[in-house]
Chains A and B, each alone.
Chain A
Amino acid sequence: MTQVFESVLSTSFLYSVIRVATPLILASMGAVITSNAGITNIGIEGVMLVSALTGVFASAFGFGPWFGLLISIITGILCSLVIGYVSMSLKADSVLTCIAFNTMAIGGTVYFMYAVTKDKGTTLALNSGKLPSVEIPLIKDIPVLGEILSNHNVVSYIALLMIFVVYILLYKTPMGLRIRSAGKAPNALSSVGVSLLKTRYIALGISGILGGMAGAFMSMGYVTWFSKNMTAGRGFIALAADAMGNSTPVGAALSSMLFAVAEALSYALQITTISPELVQMLPYLVTILGLVIYSVKRSSSNKKKREKLANQ
């Protein structure tokens, strides 16, 4: 047990938390934007997956990982817009659209991977490269903090930056005002001549950028290849983080971190005799518990507030 404590308290544990959290934070920021605009976007799972593959292809056959990242982002945008087109312009139920899209993403990525590499498992055969890690000048020299915070993949820093960017975008800009209106009162938006459709397309586009980056990180940062269904439900977790964080950027980021801690913990616990399955189960269980605790708190605080006011 002491071993576990040591590993949990070690800097490498916290380092790995940030690493694990990166795709979750990016994807959950995407979920925050879309849910503020009034769209439940479980398609972010498929968006990540497709972007991860196109990034690898672009990197291997194009101009390296940075080009891969760019293509991933473009793919993310395009996929999100397609989801938007079907659910909004063709008026299909958004959840169904996303489920259909995820189905196509899982099968389609394998189809194209096979068509290109004749391998249905991974793209190890391709030399797709890795996005660079960055040392942060001053911070890297601080003893403990430096080891935790420095030398991460560049996308990890972008992810942290995105929390701030999404916050500013939502609460300080005209576009944010429109996105929030699109979610809270779609009629209000159209009544002033702002196109609800356009606003939601923009929100989806932004979530596509974030999902695309998350995908690129999966296949060109976290590991250096694409493998079948490699996102493994991370898009769903991002959605859970958004729900848990009440669709605020900071709340969703913290929820993503919570999940990352649980996942990192499951790696740390693998050295013990605890069954690996139970450990792997942990992050998902934590997410459900987190959601429940959040909902219980919300309903009980509402009740308390009402009782308090009633007794005045």
Chain B
Amino acid sequence: MSSHCKGHPHILVKDIGVKMNEKVILKVENILKVYPNGIVANRNVNFEVFEGEIHALIGENGAGKSTLMKILFGIESPEEGRIILNGEEVKIENSKKAISLGIGMVHQHFMLVDSLTIAENIALGNEPKKRGFFIDKARMIKKAEEYAKKYNFKINITDKIEDVSVGVKQKTEILKALVRDVKLLILDEPTAVLTPQETKELFAELKTLKKQGHTIIFISHKLNEIMEICDRVTIMRHGTTVETCYIKDTNPQDISNKMVGREIVLHVDKGEVKRGEVCLEADNLVYVNSIGKKMLDGVSLKLRKGEILSVAGVEGNGQAELAAVLTGMKAPISGTLKIFGQEIKTFTPATLRRNRLTYIPEDRMRNGCAAKLAIVDNLFADKIDKYLIGNIFLNRKKMRKKAEDMVKDFSIKCGSINHQVQVLSGGNIQKVVAARELTEEARIIIAEQPTRGIDAGASELIRRKIVEYRDKGAAILLISADLNEVLELSDSAIVMHNGRVNAYFKDTSKLTEEELGYYMLGVKNQSKEEVNAIL
């Protein structure tokens, strides 16, 4: 990341061009927000946004960015503080009020109805009527098309959301805000789910919006993107705003230091790879999802002891399904899976875990923890059978002792191991998941997006742990959309495109993000022989 952005900012600042008139459109003063569970999400939050700028908001996970934006969009209400819009103090009780004040928001998780069309999603809440009672479908479609044209969005208005790509979904979200005449648009980590190409497209669109007089608040973790597109940046740390500065007056290292309050190590030290026997062998796996789409179309791979094999790919190209099949969450329609030479007949997580395979799932709240139960209970969900007295009763003492060790080893920040998991921050929840799955017993570890959406400190720790267990002899399959992580951690890598493996790199040390990107988008494809070199 570092080298990539260090070179660019100076050129890019000039690119922004238009000199801002520096009229304050939004001012936030002394916001205090305490959640019902007692967590102080925002305190002493102060910042200003100028009209017509793209203003970045950056901070580690749990720094309070999302909460602040929810306050601005009326989803949460602050305990204290003032919001001044166009010179007047406003109370934003709900999203409707926010929209009427000209504030729009594109959430990180899309808020669209899958079973409806793009036009219907855009019209929702603002439906054109005929005869006073019925929906005027023709007018609804026409209006959506007009707006798509005005902002140069290339989408087919009558497609159903469930059939379109992530990029199109995001465009729909932006259009949803624009048809409501918003002046201030908040984008919450808009690029997290996009391909590099889609990101480029988005940035072009944002520049168009800016030219037409819209103000944009851009929340991101990705420094290089902020350097590229934004005019100013506000940095948040521990629920407080630290500083606002012009992009042209700062640099990535500086921002990153202010974010975490310490130097972050961008590289994980890792020794030479020592590959051993084949631990996991997949042959021609085919999986079809519930709406009939072939998500895995004959995937074969071999994973060896002591290596980290990365699976790169643009989201939705079958990596999630590969993880689901390899961990027994879903059964393939055809193909075989062998673990240490033994063929797996029944695809259930229980069978695979019995074969000493562990899994860090992508969706930690759904698949990674029971949020309402205690931390200690969560740490043993997969191995409770080893903590019993007389094979029936829980050995609480042994559990507590081991849990304390794990908490220390993974530096999980918690008041007590008896607290509910849900009171922890995202990064600490992920550490709980990692602590459970990265154990001595694990021979094969499937890590799916292990550091997504968590703060730098936790990411670093989890990455170090993954390398540590590789060195201890586990075979690790790392599924990640974060190219940085792929290049940093992996020994070998495969790329998935359209449900197939279209590239295999035995050695990733000389691989670049750009090169990987070509394969991820299917611009380049390796020959069958090259891909099969993994077998």
Contacts and interface: CB of A to CB of B under 8 A. Distances in A.
A193 B125 contact: yes
B115 A191 contact: no
Interface string A164-189: 00000000111001101100110111
A179 to B, nearest CB: 11
Contact of A177 (B114, B120, B293, B333): B120
A277 interface: no
Contacts of A195: 94, 96
Contacts, number: 89
18 contacts: A172-B135, A177-B127, A177-B135, A181-B116, A184-B114, A184-B115, A184-B116, A185-B112, A185-B113, A190-B75, A192-B99, A192-B124, A192-B126, A192-B176, A194-B96, A306-B288, A309-B294, A310-B333
Interface in B107-151: 107, 109, 111-116, 120-121, 123-127, 129, 133-135
Contact of B290 (A178, A181, A191, A302): A302
A125 B193 CA distance: 69
A195 B111 CA distance: 14
B95 A193 contact: yes
Q: Which of A172, A180, A191, A306 gathers most chain B CB within 10 Å?
A: A191
Nearest to B136: A174
B71 interface: no
Given A185-B114, A187-B111, A188-B113, A194 B125 contact: yes
Given A187-B109, A309-B293, 11 more contacts: A172-B134, A173-B134, A174-B129, A177-B116, A177-B120, A177-B124, A180-B113, A188-B121, A189-B125, A192-B125, A310-B334
Nearest to A191: B111
B112 A188 contact: yes
A189 B135 CA distance: 17
Contacts of A188: 111-113, 121, 124
Q: Which of B111, B125, B288 gathers most chain A CB within 10 Å?
A: B125
A93 interface: no
Interface string A65-79: 000000000000000
Interface in A292-309: 302, 305-309
B31 interface: no
Contacts of A187: 107, 109, 111
B133 to A, nearest CB: 6
Contacts of B105: 191
Interface in B388-418: none
Contacts of B286: 310
B98 A173 contact: no
Nearest 9 A/B pairs, CB to CB: A193-B96, A191-B111, A192-B125, A174-B127, A194-B125, A187-B111, A193-B99, A185-B113, A309-B292
Interface of B: 75, 94-100, 105, 107, 109, 111-116, 120-121, 123-127, 129, 133-135, 176, 180, 286, 288-290, 292-294, 333-334
A199 to B, nearest CB: 10
Nearest to B106: A191
Contact of A178 (B95, B124, B134, B292): B124
Nearest to B107: A191
Contacts of B334: 310
A235 to B, nearest CB: 28
B95 A191 contact: yes
Contact of A306 (B133, B176, B290): B290
Given A184-B115, A185-B112, A192-B180, A173 B125 contact: no
Contact of B94 (A189, A193, A312): A193
Interface of A: 172-174, 177-178, 180-181, 184-185, 187-195, 302, 305-310, 312
Nearest to B173: A191
Contacts of B115: 180, 184
Nearest to A168: B134
A307 B294 CA distance: 10
A239 B111 CA distance: 29
Contacts of A307: 288, 333
A181 B290 CA distance: 21
Nearest to A192: B125
A291 to B, nearest CB: 21
Q: Which of A172, A181, A312 gathers most chain B CB within 10 Å?
A: A181
A312 B135 CA distance: 39
Contact of A193 (B100, B127, B133, B292): B100
Given A181-B113, A188-B121, A305 B100 contact: no
B215 to A, nearest CB: 19
Nearest to B290: A302
B124 A181 contact: yes
A178 B125 CA distance: 7
Contacts of B289: 306
A302 B124 CA distance: 30
Contacts of B293: 309
Nearest to B179: A192
B74 to A, nearest CB: 9
Contacts of A180: 113, 115-116
A21 B128 CA distance: 37
Contacts of A190: 75, 95, 111
A187 B333 CA distance: 34
Q: Which of B98, B133, B286 gathers most chain A CB within 10 Å?
A: B133
Q: Which of A187, A188, A307 gathers most chain B CB within 10 Å?
A: A188
Contacts of B97: 193
A240 B158 CA distance: 34
A173 B112 CA distance: 19
A287 B20 CA distance: 68
A21 B112 CA distance: 37
Nearest to B135: A174
B124 A194 contact: yes
Nearest to A198: B96
A104 to B, nearest CB: 29
A191 B116 CA distance: 15
A306 B111 CA distance: 28
Q: Which of B113, B115, B120, B180 gathers most chain A CB within 10 Å?
A: B113
Contacts of A194: 96, 124-125
Nearest to B109: A187
Contacts of B180: 192-193
B423 to A, nearest CB: 19
B512 to A, nearest CB: 36
A206 to B, nearest CB: 14
Nearest to A176: B135
Contacts of A302: 290
A193 B98 contact: yes
Contacts of B120: 177
Nearest to B287: A310
Q: Which of B180, B288, B333 gathers most chain A CB within 10 Å?
A: B288
A70 B75 CA distance: 39
Contacts of B96: 193-195
